[in-house]
Amino acid sequence: MAFPALAALAVTMTPTASAAPFAAYVMDARTGQPVFRQNADTRLHPASLTKMMTLYMAFDAIESGRVRLDSRFTISTKAANEPPSKLGLRPGQQIELRYLIRAAAIRSANDAATAIGEGLAGSEEAFAQQMTQMARALGMNNTQFRNAHGLTQQGHFSTAHDMSVLGRHLFYDFPQYYNLFSRRSADAGVAQVASTNRRFLDDYPGADGIKTGYTRAAGFNLTASAQRGNKRLIATVFGGTSTAHRNQVMAELLDASFPRIPDRVREVRPQRPRMLSQTTTRRAQVEPTPAATQPEPQRLVLAASPAPAARPSAEVPTASLVATAAPVPDLTEALRQAGATVATPAPVAGLSLSNSLRPRPRPGSRMAEAVAEAVAEATSAVPAPAASASLAAPVLASSVRPRAAPNRASPVNTTATASLAAAAATPATAPVEQTPSGSLKLNSSSPPRPRSETVILAAMGEGDLGNAEALEIVRRPADSGRGWAVSLGLYASQAEAERELLSLALQDGGVLGTARRQVADTRRGFEAQFVNLTRSQAQLACERLHSKARDCQVIAR
């Protein structure tokens, strides 16, 4: 759509026959709606506007965790040999990604852009394919990339509309990095770089980015973003005849478009593309082993093991329960013989009771009469002692009284139960101790050891029950391994040395910004030093200073 005022402006911007083809596009950044267009879908050379996509791919890789800002990229010979504009990288040099991004965005360095593409995709050709795929995902349907820097190449093209769409995505998708496009200068690691867009940023109020481009085939290109109040415009100009002409046309387009858009409008943010990442799976080559290739499966043979022990019989050995007959008549034996005369049911096969107490007979029964006769016969054979008036006193005197069961109020006879328990708990060959009275009891045993309340946290060596050795705590100083420094030389005064240290620390916040500044008062003058560095940090900092024609020396402290 072209408004009447902008239509007249378009006539004045028609390039001469010798200039590159002209195209322009202006959109409302809040909604993505077009405000002005002229040859907006004509495929032209984008020049260094290509680096907008290179940087978009780098920001996406950082956010997805594939790389980090401090990832170090190795510079290839191809990247180092790119024509200007360039940072001056050397083949084999390693540099952090953050510096490559600054150089590509601010200085528009071609060698830095190629290094980014090779570092992210392995080669510039593979990176260009990924850039084209991302362009399709963003809706840039008339764009195709062949390199990461934008130098003229067959099949490398874009449009003013597509570059404006890309600029809008940079603004909304990566706001944390967008301020990079508004910087006038930055530290690129090996050099301090100045912005190629600083003239337009300084001259046009509200401008805050984003990228310039120039080749002979493309002319002077610019994608810019500017804000006034609640309004924001993103515009692209292709085919300017000079930097001044391009900036003037961009300013006129923005001035004419701001009044044409509403002050308040519902913001429609662009949707970020969902790209499927490609991963390469490498299969390890493993030599086949005989065990894996033989046709017959291996047989596992167990070593000879001893035969299992015979299952113990359910019956309790009677040999351990036999007691020597008492010299005096036993009342229990008499009762047993008396009960034998009464018919009892046949015992069940496999079950037998040994020396259990018979229940008391019911009064008036045949059993009671037999028991009375047996008692009378047993007691008549023994003369009654003079001191006892009871007939059963001799029998009771020679017997062991039963012990009361634990935690029970009434005592019970546990003689037979104890005998059975002892026989079951001890081997069949163990002898049973006999008392003079003929009763059975267990051999004396030591009481169980009390349970220890100590909690064993870790098992020590076999048989090692001694105390663990005392833990030895070794402390290292906080600056362990940081005994290196970078000396900047001697200065006439302490204040001058401190100013120099502070200036360099602000310029290089990566290493020197974290080092401790120190001024040593020597006989020859005041020596400015960056201390508390590792050896690698000190060497890296000194190399950066050498690249800036600054004298320095790495010293060990």
DSSP string, 382-401: SPPPTT---TTHHHHHTSPP
Number of neighbours of residue 518 by Cβ within 10 angstroms: 17
d(CA 127, CA 135): 12
d(CA 81, CA 93): 13
Examine the residue annotation and report whether 85 is marked as an active-site residue of this protein. no
3-state helix vs strand vs coil in the chain, percent to 5: 35, 15, 50
Residues 42, 235, 120, 274, Cα dihedral to 10°: -90
CB neighbour list of residue 188: distance below 8 Å, 6 or more residues apart:
87, 99, 100, 102, 103, 106, 107, 109, 112
d(CA 86, CA 81): 9
User: Is residue 236 within 8 Å of 36, Cβ to Cβ?
Assistant: no
pTM of this structure = 0.51
d(CA 87, CA 103): 7
Domain ranges in the chain are 4-260, 484-556
CB neighbour list of residue 56: distance below 8 Å, 6 or more residues apart:
134, 166, 169, 170, 173, 174
Q: Which one of 3.30.70, 3.30.1300, 3.30.960, 1.20.120 gives the CATH number of domain 484-556?
A: 3.30.70
Residue of 51, 86, 211, 231 with catalytic role: 51
Q: pLDDT truncated to tens, each residue of the chain (557 aa)? A: 445 445 545 545 554 444 689 999 999 999 999 999 999 999 999 999 999 999 999 999 999 999 999 999 999 999 999 999 999 999 999 999 999 999 999 999 999 999 999 999 999 999 999 999 999 999 999 999 999 999 999 999 999 999 999 999 999 999 999 999 999 999 999 999 999 999 999 999 999 989 999 999 999 999 999 999 999 999 999 999 999 999 999 999 999 999 999 999 999 999 988 754 444 444 545 555 555 455 555 555 555 666 666 565 444 444 343 344 444 555 566 656 655 554 445 554 545 555 556 666 566 566 667 666 766 666 565 454 444 444 555 555 555 566 665 554 444 444 444 444 444 444 444 444 444 444 555 555 667 777 665 555 544 444 444 454 444 444 444 445 678 888 988 888 988 888 888 888 877 767 777 788 888 888 888 889 988 888 888 888 888 888 888 889 888 87
Q: Does domain 4-260 sit in CATH 3.40.710.10?
A: yes
Residue of 76, 108, 225, 320 with catalytic role: 108
Q: Which tokens is 405 given?
A: 């069961």
544-553: Cβ within 8 A, 24+ apart:
544/189, 544/190, 544/508, 544/511, 545/486, 545/488, 545/504, 547/190, 547/191, 548/191, 548/192, 550/488, 550/504, 551/488, 551/489, 552/486, 552/487, 552/488, 552/489, 553/486, 553/487, 553/489
Q: Which tokens is 451 given?
A: 């349970």
**Which residue in the block uniquely carries the two structure tokens 């079950």?**
351
Residue of 48, 76, 320, 487 with catalytic role: 48
The sign of the torsion formed by the CA atoms of 49, 50, 55, 57 equals positive
Examine the residue annotation and report whether 86 is marked as an active-site residue of this protein. no
d(CA 85, CA 526): 40
Determine the length of the chain.
Answer: 557
* Gyration radius of the chain over CA positions: 51
User: Is residue 115 within 8 Å of 190, Cβ to Cβ?
Assistant: no
Examine the residue annotation and report whether 446 is marked as an active-site residue of this protein. no
Number of neighbours of residue 232 by Cβ within 10 angstroms: 20
Question: Could you tell me how many helices (H) and strands (E) the chain has, helices first?
Answer: 17, 15
554: phi then psi, degrees, rounded to nearest 5 = -90, 125
Query: What phi-psi label fits residue 92: left (phi over 0), alpha (psi between -120 and 50 degrees) or beta?
Result: left
User: Is residue 254 within 8 Å of 235, Cβ to Cβ?
Assistant: yes
Q: Concatenated DSSP letters for 20-85?
A: PPPEEEEEETTT--EEEEESTT--B--GGGHHHHHHHHHHHHHHTTSS-TTPEEEPPHHHHTPPSS
d(CA 284, CA 385): 103
Fold agreement (4-260, 484-556): no
List the 526-533 sheet strands across, edge first: 516-521, 526-533, 484-491, 553-556
DSSP helix/strand/coil, 201: helix
